[in-house]
């Protein structure tokens, strides 16, 4: 059975801290790993990773994939209150399914 | 661009009632899917479709039916609602010809079954 696990499930940090969110997976026929940010409504896309060891960056966010160890991390540096959200990790398979993990709820306090 | 449109935004049903959640996209995406989101459980895949006339089951299909008669629309039917189906439902789509394209989500339908 395909599975995506995220840790921690929730996290409270102070503004300016750096956080690392973890995602591990066990799926049949891995195709891609995706990170989404969800605030009040629909998830919004952050990154897609398909190759090991290549870091993707967008501002203060970055992510990397390890296909040998079957995990990915999402780093957020110099956190701001606007980073408070649920961060979802998802894995796409060649059977056309996109399976999500439970999410990490991040709260950034001033 | 409208993107992915879901209706209604909110719905309250009594146990045993039926209803259809609507999803439409105007991006000519071949792939469409339905998820439900419950606290602490992320998004769980209910059904998905890779094109008109083709549907398949996801992780939690029981109690839900789908059909895909056009590229644009992918309705989700609850034939006999149960309190366990209280949830937020998201529809999502992407281009099927590019497997490595991200899903685009609608804004969700919050369903309560009493």
Half-sphere exposure of B22 (CA within 13 A, CB side): 7
What confidence tier does A70 reach under pLDDT thresholds 50, 70, 90? very high
pLDDT digits (tens, 9 = 90+) for A10-42: 999 999 999 999 999 999 889 899 999 999 889
Q: Are B75 and B20 in contact (CB under 8 A)?
A: yes
pLDDT at A53: 84
What confidence tier does B1 reach under pLDDT thresholds 50, 70, 90? low
User: Quick one: tokens of A79?
Assistant: 């956190």
Collapse the DSSP code of A12 into the 3-class scheme (helix H, G, I; strand E, B; otherwise coil) and give the result. strand
A102–B contact, CB cutoff 8 A: yes
The candidate with the shortest Cα–Cα distance to A106, out of A72, A67, A71, A61, is A61
pLDDT digits (tens, 9 = 90+) for B86-104: 999 999 999 876 667 889 9
pLDDT at A97: 86
- Please report residues of B whose CB lies closer than 8 A to that of A102: 40-42
| pLDDT at B43 > cutoff 70 | yes
| pLDDT at A94 > cutoff 80 | no
Chain B residues at the A interface, defined by Cβ less than 8 Å, are: 31, 33, 35, 40-45, 48, 50, 56, 58-59, 90, 92, 96, 99-100, 102-108
What confidence tier does B76 reach under pLDDT thresholds 50, 70, 90? very high
pLDDT at B99: 62
A71–B contact, CB cutoff 8 A: no
Contacts of B58 (CB under 8 A, 6+ apart): A97, B33, B34, B35, B44, B45, B46, B47, B48
* Most A-contacting residue of B34, B42, B44 (CB-CB within 10 A), to test interface: B42
What is the rounded average pLDDT of the residues A46-56?
Answer: 90
Collapse the DSSP code of B30 into the 3-class scheme (helix H, G, I; strand E, B; otherwise coil) and give the result. coil
CB contact under 8 A, A100 and B90: no
| pLDDT at B50 > cutoff 70 | yes
User: Quick one: tokens of A85?
Assistant: 């959200």
Phi, psi for residue B54 in degrees, rounded to 5: -125, 120
| pLDDT at A77 > cutoff 90 | yes
| pLDDT at B39 > cutoff 90 | no
Collapse the DSSP code of B104 into the 3-class scheme (helix H, G, I; strand E, B; otherwise coil) and give the result. strand
Determine the longest span between alpha carbons in chain A, in angstroms.
Answer: 44
Phi, psi for residue B85 in degrees, rounded to 5: -90, 5
């Amino acid at each position: 059975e395909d599975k995506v696990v995220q840790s921690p499930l929730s996290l409270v940090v102070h503004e300016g801290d750096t956080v690392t969110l973890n995602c591990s997976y066990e799926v049949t026929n891995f195709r891609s790993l995706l990170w989404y940010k969800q605030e009040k409504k629909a998830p919004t896309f952050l990154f897609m990773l398909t190759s090991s060891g290549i870091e993707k960056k967008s501002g203060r966010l970055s992510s990397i994939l390890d296909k040998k160890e079957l995990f990915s991390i999402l780093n957020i540096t110099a956190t701001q209150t606007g980073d408070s959200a649920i961060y979802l990790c998802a894995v796409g398979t060649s059977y056309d399914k996109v399976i999500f993990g439970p999410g990490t709820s991040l709260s950034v306090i001033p | 661009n409208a993107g992915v449109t879901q209706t209604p935004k909110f719905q309250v049903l009594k146990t045993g009632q039926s209803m259809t959640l609507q999803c439409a996209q105007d991006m000519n995406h071949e792939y469409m899917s339905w998820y439900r989101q419950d606290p602490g459980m992320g998004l769980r895949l209910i059904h998905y479709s890779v094109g008109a006339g083709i549907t398949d089951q996801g992780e939690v299909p029981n109690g839900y039916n789908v059909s895909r008669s056009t590229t644009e629309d992918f309705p989700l039917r609850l034939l006999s609602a149960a309190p366990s189906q209280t949830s937020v439902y998201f529809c999502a789509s992407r281009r099927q010809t590019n497997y490595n394209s991200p899903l685009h989500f609608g804004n969700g339908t919050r369903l309560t079954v009493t």
